[in-house]
Amino acid sequence: MAEYQRARSPEQKAERMEAIMDAAEGLFAELPYHEINMGLIAKELGWSRSNLYKYAATLEEVFLALHSRANEAYIAELMSSLPAVPCDDRDLARVWAKVTAKHRAFLRYQDILIAIIESNTSLERLVDFKRTLTEIYAPLTDLLSRQTGCSPIEARELYLRLIFQAPNLYSHHHPAGRSAEAIQIVGMPPAPGTFEDAYADFVTMCLAWVREHAQG
């Protein structure tokens, strides 16, 4: 835990924000979102709250930045791992599912993005986030367009369909917290198969459907 020092340059300010994000990420690995607050992050860093607020105004702002960072890492690995397109849908889907399973933290951020993070973020900050988000996933939507022969707009909708489904499917196969406890008490059987297999099936199905209905 480093002693707080005031940031004076843009580089130092970026370093402070990275430290804030790292602290929040560490807390999120141990606690549900609703138990985390700015006071806990400040304590984790050894800073005062007033020093923390110089770099982030709200908890949602911190988690919006965490989502962007995790999303960039996720898409970068997808782009470097996916086979050259066009290829067999099943081959692409298997790699997509394997990479997605490795990015559990990103799936947790994605799971709370719309209902919690975006709904409690300023419009100005949210506009910046959406603009950056579009830039981040542009290479991937281009790849999906080339794989299926669909338009860029259709490829964007395909990507969003895939990424919105991933957190729910992952939670279905890997329930945590109270959900896991309730499932155990009720005696419900675990989800059959694995997340990777189930998600690969979903990706394959979506690719085939979009190709069939592509408008070009």
CATH number assigned to the domain comprising residue 174: 1.10.357.10
Q: Are residues 93 and 22 in the same domain?
A: no
| CATH code of 52's domain | 1.10.10.60
Contacts with 96 (C-beta within 8 Å, 6 or more apart), sequence order: 78, 82, 162, 199, 200, 203
- What is the extent of the structural domain holding 113? 59-213
Instruction: Identify the sign of the CA torsion 131, 137, 143, 147.
Output: negative
Q: Are residues 114 and 146 in the same domain?
A: yes
Q: Are residues 8 and 91 in the same domain?
A: no
Q: Are residues 74 and 118 in the same domain?
A: yes
pLDDT at 8 over 80: no
Model confidence pLDDT, tens digit, residues 41-57:
999 999 999 999 988 88
Spatial distance between the Cα atoms of 107 and 67, rounded to a whole number of angstroms: 9
pTM of the complete model: 0.87
Q: Are residues 161 and 102 in the same domain?
A: yes
Q: Are residues 80 and 126 in the same domain?
A: yes
Q: What is the DSSP string of 31-88?
A: S-GGG--HHHHHHHHT--HHHHTTT-SSHHHHHHHHHHHHHHHHHHHHHHHSPPSS--
Q: Are residues 50 and 67 in the same domain?
A: no
Model confidence pLDDT, tens digit, residues 139-160:
999 999 999 999 999 999 999 9
Q: Are residues 52 and 63 in the same domain?
A: no
What is the number of structural domains in the chain? 2
